[in-house]
A and B are shown apart, each in its own frame.
Chain A
Amino acid sequence: MELHICHLYPEVLNLYGDRGNILCMKRRLEWRGIGCSVTELKIGDRTDLSGFDLFFIGGGQDFEQEVLLGDLHTGKDREIRAAIEDGKTFLCICGGYQMLGNYYETYDGVKCEFLGAIDFYTAGSETRMIDNYCFRLGEESGGSVVAGFENHSGRTYLGNGIRPLGTVLKGNGNNGQDGTEGVRYKNVFGSYSHGPILPKNPDFADVLLTSALNRKYGAAELEPLPDTFEKQAHDSICDRIMAGTMSAD
């Protein structure tokens, strides 16, 4: 068995250590003897996306996200929407998550058209939501608790019938108002969580990998890993986030 991972826009959407998610997925597959390739797709690169099983899109600086929109309109936008409808697995973080929605509207009313792959939009606000936070994944995503770090001024509002990735236990999530975090649409997992999100949330990492393996090979079950360090980090950080004792002065 093997999975082909596509890392979209690694040269532009690469802030906040999100490439740690790619490393995490690679290792977790290798440790189970499952082959894995990672292909980077940059601005200007054209490749058929149908050869990939799993896509990762990270977050970036506003300055470079503009350059990226031009590249999407050369055809990558259609291919990404097609891959999503086809049930391919996507992990999209922060800017990469926002990009899948209909549009982004800045605080002073400027509207930026995005991919429109999933029915939601994001509105810029004057305040930044920056902190460690916790959310519980929806049942269809395994139901475990995720410890992460959010850093965004955009507030995302999901359309009717669009399911969030999880519910906020502590922190802001999508907009700090409705208790939702991220989006789950077919096999798209969108979230505001940096951290990076996967390494100390091993149950979630495996849910992601399983969704890609299932689609490719029919039913697939991942052999459980001991995950001593991961569980230690996950449990202690979750406890501290819930108790409000993270990041002292």
Chain B
Amino acid sequence: MREMSRKPFVLQTILAVASCKFVRGLLRRTGKGGGTALPGKVAMKFEKDILAQTSRGMEIIVVTGTNGKTTTSNMLEHALTAAGKDVLANKSGANLLSGVTAEITCSADWLGRPKKKTAVIECDEGALKQVVPLIRPKVIIVTNLFRDQLDRYGEVMHTLEAIRTGIKKVPDSILCLNADCSLTSSLAFDVPNKIVYYGLNTPLGEQDDQAVSDARHCIRCGTVYQYRYHTYAHLGAFRCPKCGYERRDPDVAVTAVDSITSRGSIVKLDIDGQPWPREVKIGLPAVYNIYNAAAAIAAYRAFGGRTEEVLRSLADVNSSFGRMETFMPGKQTVQMILVKNPAGCSQSIDYLTRLEEDFRLVICLNDRTADGHDISWIWDADYEKLASDAHVTRILVSGDRAEDMMVRLKYAGIPEEKIALERSNENLLAMMKESPLPVFVLPNYTSMLALRKVLSDATGKKEFWEKQG
């Protein structure tokens, strides 16, 4: 009973764990959604730092940043599982302290000891400083920084500082940083952590200095960056001509993109400066998934895994919860692509406009707390590309702020006759069942949750928690 004498309040731990499991089970049985955060809040009432106990001894990778957290986590979980590990992952996107606590605590035994040895944890940028001191991760990935929920964080710089605060609390964690993001790379200044960089060594897309940028000016001295090449938004080979702050050579570098289609990409890599002998297939489409894959490779290696294993698993990685999921309620496919901010939205629209088939589009815009009350980001995303895309036959607009979205589309140059308001998810489902063309949906977070439930009920797709073993 050595544990009893070191922790005189073991009863608190048992109550915390028990209440967590009980509340989660209750919420799921009564059909009130995934029960993701409330169980954690209840557990923390009994023991504030319960997460430190229920994660003790686990080997954990944390994924944070503006875009790509869930997909990168999904890629890592897929790779680790394929390598035979029993992995815990917070699947639902509940990535604040309460959600992470719920996930890890519910997975522990009744005495609060972890049952699984490995975890991949997606963590919100603002919550990082609360979460990492408790779980002491082996690896932390920072994917990128873009303007996102501005009314929650204030500004991109505040988000960066919040992440930096978190990192400083865990000097032993290995950082995997996006070399192409000048904001993310600046996390390397003055920290003792070991750092692994990932990025693209090759230009992509329009080489245009005018793209909307959250990071035009050098973070150290304020001078405008010069770029040898761009990949998208403010990502690329940046260099400050005044103080010399510049992109570091990535340890995991994509050196060529041989093909990019709606089914995925084929790339060439250098690992630690040496070309990888084979082409690598990435099973999810678009540029941002090339970045997510590079992040996953870097983190998997930093975690101690073998390169061949992660490369092999990237070829058939599944789409994550709502991020790029495909359903088939009728004869045609319905693909949901979660968007939350201008960079992600513009990338998704770019992907749609490269498709060679006619399609219908559904755009859903909510403004609940989890989405961010300020929806003005839609005016920074490039809907103009849809105006010149002849394959878009019809656009249905849904959600709390559908009317704002309709105004946005009109000013983007889309003819009013193509745009219609449809708030009911049931009616959207009926349209999808009868549609003679594939349907693509661009929802933001809470509208995705609601529509996804309707679609998965109709198609019998499993709830996300049923996917776990």
Contacts and interface: CB of A to CB of B under 8 A. Distances in A.
B222 A67 contact: yes
A16 interface: yes
Interface in A9-68: 11-12, 14-20, 23-24, 27, 43, 61-64, 66-67
A70 to B, nearest CB: 9
B404 A67 contact: no
B378 A17 contact: yes
A62 to B, nearest CB: 7
Interface stretch (A73-81, A99-107, A125-133): A125-133
Interface in A149-173: 149, 151
Given A130-B373, A233-B403, A67 B411 contact: no
B49 interface: no
A131 B375 CA distance: 11
Interface string A110-148: 000000000000000000101110000000000000000
Interface of A is mostly: mixed
A14 B369 contact: no
A151 B151 contact: yes
A200 B374 CA distance: 14
Interface stretch (B162-170, B211-219, B264-272, B281-289): B211-219
B418 interface: no
B373 A132 contact: yes
Contacts of B368: 247-249
| B interface, size bucket | 20 to 34
B403 A236 contact: yes
A196 B376 contact: yes
A195 B374 CA distance: 8
Interface stretch (B71-79, B153-161, B198-206): B153-161
Contacts of A182: none
Given A237-B404, A247-B373, A23 B217 contact: no
A173 to B, nearest CB: 17
Nearest to A149: B374
Interface residues of A, number: 41
A17 B403 contact: no
Interface string B418-435: 010000000000000000
Nearest to A20: B379
Given A228-B416, A247-B373, A199 B408 contact: yes
Interface string A84-108: 0000000000000000000000000
B379 A17 contact: yes
B216 A12 contact: yes
B367 A15 contact: no
A232 B407 CA distance: 9
A241 B263 CA distance: 43
Contacts of A12: 216-217
A222 B97 CA distance: 54
Contact of B151 (A24, A67, A130, A195): A130
Contact of B374 (A14, A19, A151): A151
B216 A11 contact: yes
Nearest to B372: A247
A7 interface: no
Contacts of A17: 376-380
A221 interface: no
8 contacts: A11-B216, A12-B217, A20-B411, A27-B411, A199-B407, A199-B411, A248-B400, A249-B368
Interface of B: 147, 150-151, 154-157, 212-213, 216-217, 222, 224, 367-369, 373-374, 376-380, 400, 403-404, 406-408, 410-411, 416, 419
Given A247-B369, A249-B368, 4 more contacts: A11-B224, A17-B378, A149-B376, A229-B406
Give the top 5 A-B pairs by smallest Cβ distance, nearest first. Answer: A20-B379, A17-B376, A17-B379, A233-B403, A247-B373
